[in-house]
Structure 1
Amino acid sequence: MRRWPRPGDTALVVLLLLPLAVALPRLGGLAGPPELWLTWVGRVTGILGLALMLLAGAVSCRVPGLDRPFGGLARLWRLHHGLGFAAFILVMLHALALGLAAVPASLDAAVATLFPPLSHGAVWLGWLAWAALVVFLAPTFDFFGQPHYQRWKRLHLVSAAALLLGLWHALLLAGEAWPWWLLGLAGLGAIAWRKGVAPRRRHAYRIEAVEPLARGVVELVLRPEGSGIRHEAGQFVYLSPLDESLANGRGEEHPYTIASAPSDGRLRIGIKDLGDASHALQTVAPESRVLIEGPHGEFFGRRFPERDMLWLGGGIGITPFVGGARDLATGAGPGGHVHLFYLAHDESRAYYGQDLEAIAERHAGFTFTTHFYRDLGPLTETFLREHCPDFTEREIYLCGPPAMNAHLQRLLAGQGVPASRIHSEVFDFL
């Protein structure tokens, strides 16, 4: 996976350090007894912790196209999770350091510092923000196992209370309020957009057909009711079905990769039975409505466009490559040669195999190879080199189950392929 800093990363660092840079002249230095530098550490961790909280909220806005400076929405959500976790740790250190700084005076002084009279409202607002983090945000960090998808989303929404309370705490204590107003507008404004404005900007589609591909796998063919969306190969959307007969998932939004070419007048989305919502969609009613939000992602964004490409797809992770191959079949798509390896358990699970073979027969720049785990075991360097001798020189894209991706990452790294030329995308809790 590509690891160089993105323009969005630079913007986040600048915004993170802004309130600290403004406050530093008032914080003093580190020289002196331990209680002075513990006070300094407590204040710095508090500033950085709240800034991280607000930035985590800001990057959750999910505006189509805004994810590109960060390397796609999947990476942006990993940043969101990392920012939130770092904020949680720093806020804990903030309270601990300030309490320890008062211990040399007396234990009573330490308790009074942390738990002053109720008239010290700013401090108690900080404690309320801390409580909101613990109650609403900590369970989303997998401390107690992976949370249920909808419970996870509700907890994230309620955790906005921690941002509001923490911002109020800072505004009452900060000497310079403008950096906090700026970050507060970004963080809370993003949440307001996400929950208030974005749902009203979704595109309405009708399910024109539900085409079975294999046991537990269907392709939905969606017809726009209006102008529809414009997308690139490899992107994904959030789909919310409105079919009242669905046993699960009605009105819920879940991410699915687009399997149609950008020039296709219909959206085609491959869906595998992997949970309650995707199971219900296997029998969704034709002509029922769905709402589409997006597109998101930049799966086929390339750093070295002059390179040929190697695509390695398995499971329902084949769908971005199906969209890419269908794009090639229209005469569009990237230049150079593309070799797709379809990694499936057996022929019955290579549900797009016939379509891809037909495209390979018509398009000289596209080669298609199947690899069946039941017959050959895991993909090996020998098999790759036999069918694609120059695979280590190509730009490489992976999409499939986590175990498959991990195996391929190790295989490619073992052959000297730099991480900057290996690209993958996962949708966990998008």
Structure 2
Amino acid sequence: MNAITEAFEIAEHVPMDRVVLVSGADLTPQPVAWLWRYWLALKKLHILAGAPGQGKTTIALAMAATVTVGGRWPDGERCAQGNILIWSGEDDPADTLLPRLLAAGADRSRCHFVKGAMRDGVVVPFDPARDLQQLREAIDAIGGVRLLVVDPVVSAVTGDSHKNTEVRRALQPLVDLADACDCAVLGITHFSKGGQGTDPAQRVVGSVAFTAVARIVLVAAKVKSEVDGQDCRILARSKSNIGPDDGGFEYHLEQREPIPGIQASCIAWGKAVQGTARDLLTDPDEEMEEVSAGKTDLPMLMWAELKDGCRQSKQVEAAIVGMGYSKKQIRTVREKMGIKPRKGGLDGGWYWSLPDDFMPKMEWISAVGEGEDALEDAQGAQLSKQGILGTFGASSDGNEQLADQCAVGNAPLAARSKEMF
């Protein structure tokens, strides 16, 4: 046998590179396996993003604690009990992570932390970009791990975190890990600066690949309550490829003492909220910048809706939303104009009314086609609304009823002079 023949025989046994295909006829359709229905899926990568100080890690630990005890999620659904694993490049397990887990009611025996990696007999810092195979072996050794938290997820990227191709390549091992270990992987990251008026998922720091690769993107932010204007925090779904991509839950950060002498923050979940992440989480100051930059007719529209007296808030809101404005923009302008929601009327609904001494701009009056006496009429309508003046200066029953609707305990709406716009 000559050398040429031997070469051909060897080549016949060398596997050839090829594309691997599978027929749909050979596949069995499978439902998505949920850890938390529509929020956390087994075998999938998730992203939790938000600005600093919004309690992202504490939220992740609250979720982890729920898994360890088989507790209930914020929507009341029962969670299957399991183990959890946390890698954090920012917080110490002993003085931060475990106390927060205990404050959330976790079973500490089911909590595991990545301390480092063994290399050449020496313990070195764990590198998610390099040590995922060893991490998979550790997960298999623990058994029953249902949630893996990676904080921050950007640490899994060895290259430029702003380059789409490099981020996708770096995140794929995490995706494969989730699938192989049958667990949900939750990566924590930050919002980038700016981006007001955009989908919160587009504000995730780094390449768009972070949100593109993740099957579900959760976002957390501080907002103002629609009702009382007080600060509250909301966790919302900004993107989902496998379920609903809207809705959320209010939450508050609390301090507890799980062990005497040790303080730790934890999450107190509030009510469910409806709407898209963009509507729920848009910052009021950013909305005001958008209004000032180009949508300066919103204050005028608000005045036009309320100039004749108080009205049900849902009617005013529906009318202005129909003109292309968001509920957050409406709320921001309402607050700037001093319009405070009050309950009243037979239905106990919410009503809005202009402050007593609100003075519309002359260009507003011209824009809505009012006559030359419209300014005086507008002022008169405000007085009449309060039941002070009726037709030709006399008090009227209709105005008294309107005043009752716009008052709480006979207290009229707060009044303050406005020349904000």
- Larger Rg, first or second structure (1 or 2): 2
Greater share of residues in strand = 2
- Normalized against structure 2, the TM-score is what? 0.24
- Normalized against structure 1, the TM-score is what? 0.24
Greater share of residues in helix = 1
